[in-house]
Structure 1
Amino acid sequence: MGPVGKPDPELHEETLVSLPLDARKMHTFEHIGSLAAVAQSFTPRKTRSRLLMSIYIVLIKAKINVLLPFGPLAVILHYLTGKQGWVFFFSLIGITPLAERLGYATEQLACYTGPTVGGLLNATFGNATEMIISIYALKNGMIRVVQQSLLGSILSNMLLVLGCAFFAGGVVHYSKDQTFNKEERQNEEDVDEEDVPEITLWEAVSWLAVLTIWISILSGYLVDAIQGASESWNMPVAFISVILLPIVGNAAEHASAIMFAMKDKLDITLGVAIGSSTQISMFLIPFCVVVGWSMGKQMDLNFRLFETATLFITVLVVTFMLQEGTANYFKGLMLILCYLIVAASFFVHIDPTSSDD
């Protein structure tokens, strides 16, 4: 070392050259190791396991997926037997789990977006099944089927879905009346933990595309078999359109509304049931009018007197049930019975315009 307080120039030069070189080598080795770890995470084995896990979550995990084989069975029956009644029946059952899984994939995708985009996704894909069926019916010129099926979706959400949710929640919480529209309950919902997505963003997008395509295929067979099913079962087309077709599109709302009611979260239940009815009346019905106009079909909002009166009375009944801000199993049972009365009325009602389709 040189004079006191001054470092040796040779030692200082050696430190500046040799130590950064060693540190650079160590950094290079660490960088190579991190790249190897990233590459290892994308190995075919891990990709295959992730794909199998995604298939299990979407197509196997839910109990309603036991109905999935009925979809391919409907296609097979269409080409082998040509019996429209069975084709309609199996198509109806096969689309039901697909509609529920489509709602699940939409919720998973909404977890990766903001509230605005998530709300738009739920408004679009939440009623995608009814939208696809309506487009196929418009293409075939079945205007009354479109009008009655959309009306049936509104009635089903307001009476059947809400009634089953109230009944299930009332049975589980039989010792008290469930309440909703309370400020303290809204504050509790804000504190609830956020939903954690079970599948990745691109998996959700891929499943949305796959499920939408498969629903579109089955919807074609379903719509083509409506008239044949009506004749073979001796059942009015109005009953099939108002009662049977909405069961397919409301599968996701039905399951989620009952689940939230059993968890004593009636505000979410009301949002699901009444919100879906609002989406259909404010978005889907005008959308079908625009689509019919683009196809040259005379799709309009001219619902018949019997259908309008049924909707008006339904709104009055639901308003009467909700005005107290409480729910129990008896109110749910009353709503279910009202829906059964509506179903029976459409079964015996003679639609003079059904022959026009």
Structure 2
Amino acid sequence: MGSIEEGTNYLSDEDIPLKGTPVAKNLSHSFDCETVHVRSSPDDKRWWKTNNIRFRPLESAKIVLIKAKINLLLPFGPLAILLHYLTGKHGLVFFFTLLGITPLAERLGYATEQLASYTGPTVGGLLNATFGNATEMIISIYALKSGMIRVVQQSLLGSILSNMLLVLGCAFFTGGIVHHKNVQTFNKGTAVVNSGLLLMAVMGTTFPAVLHFTHTELHSGESALSLSRFSSCIMLIAYASFLFFQLKSQHNLYGSLDEEGDGEVEEDPEIYAWEAIGWLAILTVWVSILSGYLVDAIEGASESLHLPVAFISVILLPIVGNAAEHASAIMFAMKDKLNITLGVAIGSSTQISMFVIPFCVVVGWCMGIPMDLNFKLFETATLFITVLVVAFMLQEGTSNYFKGLMLILCYLIVAASFFVHVDPSSDDD
């Protein structure tokens, strides 16, 4: 290791003893009488500390860009850009761009978790709300700039449906198969609170749609938009209140879904706080660049692949874009950590419905684009039924492989429905 005089310096990764190991315990006992503090992580988990301002380009790049196996998909991003200018085949550009964005979305989540280790649970919750679905927000903003309001609505709706039915279903199914001799349980109270927020989101999307399609607007073509903007502001306030309630006010009663609470030792961060901030900026810029090419290729891909734009937006975009989240949810379910699984699936759906969608409405408002909560009757009915089905599945606080199978089959019905669904050419249809 190092000399005692170097105890205030940081240890290399090879020299850091794991928490709870005999080596770490012996070190603690040996240095008990000394004024030496051996750290096993970058400083005291406070991002403003001087030593946490360090930035190690090569070492942090190795951790962020090489360590994870999913980073094998990173070259597909530049390849998609080359194909865009050299071939003009929108189908290939769309597919390769999706593959290139997948590892970036996972690495964004990783960098956010690393930074949250320094900021604490309250600020960490805000960071997760902001960067946890950064990919969806960036794609949506680019689509809004292009005037593709329906793509924004359908892609965000697809993320909710994918997380609630496919991700949760696969996690329950695989977890139930692996632990078929035991009953898997999760935090019922927090799941119920999240279900309530999802029902509130359904309310926010239902009223503008019903108001418009029943032709009962006070000002035709304007009342539904005004109601959507007002409801979006209310939903953002509700989500901010939920974060405060969950992380600060009633933390013991309604612990966060992504906290396991099984007594495991919290893992130390692998990179410094300012390194995490730097990588968040770099990854966000790269996702923004690829998102522009992805949005430009959607309509061309729909024609070349002979698939409806609704199917691409609701099914393909969320499945591939959230592939990393899907894998992590299933992995935690197989480890019998359903609280983390629900934090990924239901927590992400809550973020999208109560934060990302209202955020896009407000951004469209600022840009002068009539983005609203009128998701049309077909999409609104799909969301309403999905939330009801999942709410009933979660009310017992237990899971098994049959519940997972039911959720997967429900998602197949939804996918088939959007495969044969085409947006009406007129609102009067």
Counterparts of 1:61 and 1:349, CA distance in 2: 42
* Equivalent position of 1:169 in the other structure: 175
Please give the secondary structure, in 2, of the residue aligned with 1:92: helix
1: CA distance, partners of 2:327 / 2:109: 11
- Say which of 180, 183, 196 aligns to 2:186: 180
The residue number in structure 2 matching 1:7 is none
Q: Indicate the larger mover: 334-343 or 252-261.
A: 252-261
1:117 & 1:148 partners in 2: Cα distance? 30
Q: 2 CA distance for matches of 1:182 and 1:219?
A: 37
Measure the CA separation in 2 of the matches of 1:190 and 1:169. Answer: 17
Q: Which runs of 5+ in 2 are unaligned?
A: 11-54, 190-252
- Rounded Cα–Cα distance in structure 2 between residues aligned with 1:233 and 1:79: 19
1:302-353 CA-partner distances (Å, limit 9, x unpaired): 1111111111111121122222221122211221111111011000012115
* 1:94 aligned residue (91, 97, 100): 100
Amino acid at match of 2:144: L
CA deviation map 1:202-250 (0-9, x unaligned):
2111111111011000000000000000000110000011011112442
The CA deviation at 1:252 is: 3.9
Question: Structure 1: 5+ residue runs without aligned partners?
Answer: 1-32, 39-48
1:1-357 alignment, distance < 5 Å: 50-181=56-187, 189=261, 191-353=263-425
In 2, Cα distance between the equivalents of 1:117 and 1:252?
23
Deviation at 1:260, TM superposition (A): 1.8
Displacement after TM superposition at 1:171 (Å): 2.3
Compute the displacement of 1:178 (Å): 0.8
Query: In the alignment, is the contact (CA less than 8 A) between 2:139 and 2:295 conserved in 1?
Result: yes
Deviations 1:117-146 (A, max 9, x none): 100000000010000000000000000000
Amino acid at match of 1:300: D
- Separation (CA, whole Å) in 1 of partners of 2:74 and 2:181: 38
Aligned counterparts of 2:311 and 2:107: Cα–Cα separation in 1: 26
**Secondary structure, in 3 states, of the residue corresponding to 1:85?**
helix
Higher mean C-alpha deviation, range 166-175 or range 123-132: 166-175
2-side partners of 1:265 and 1:237: how far apart?
Answer: 36
Residue type at the aligned position of 1:198: E
Q: CA deviation at 1:195?
A: 2.4
Question: Does the residue aligned with 2:269 lie in a helix, a strand or coil?
Answer: coil
1:192 Cα deviation after fit:
2.5
Deviates more, 1:131-140 or 1:269-278: 269-278
Shift in CA distance, 101/188, structure 1 to aligned 2, threshold 3 Å: closer
What residue number does 1:14 align with? Answer: none
- CA contact under 8 A between 1:71 and 1:91: conserved in structure 2? yes
Counterpart code for 1:157: N
Task: Give TM-score, length-normalised by structure 2.
Answer: 0.69
Secondary structure of the 2:118 match is coil
Higher-helix-fraction structure:
1
Do the aligned partners of residues 307 and 188 (structure 1) sit closer, same or farther apart at CA in structure 2, a change above 3 Å counting? closer
Instruction: Determine if contact 2:332/2:341 at 8 Å carries over to the other structure.
Output: yes
- Show CA shifts across 1:17-41 (max 9, x none): xxxxxxxxxxxxxxxx98xx99xxx
Q: For the structure 1 residues 215 and 182, does the alpha-carbon distance in structure 2 shift closer, same or farther, using more than 3 Å as the test? A: closer
With CA pairs under 8 Å and 6+ residues apart, which has the higher RCO, 1 or 2?
2
The 1:286/1:100 distance shift into structure 2, 3 A limit, reads same
Percent of paired sites with the same residue: 82
Per the normalisation by structure 1, the TM-score is 0.82
Given that residues 238 and 354 in structure 1 are in contact (C-alpha distance below 8 angstroms), is that contact kept between their aligned partners in structure 2?
Answer: no
Q: 1:247 to 1:182 in 2, by over 3 A?
A: closer
Partner of 2:13: none
How big is the alpha-carbon RMSD for the aligned residues of Structure 1 and Structure 2? Answer: 2.5
Amino acid paired to 2:113: E
Task: Measure how far apart 1:88 and its partner are.
Answer: 0.5
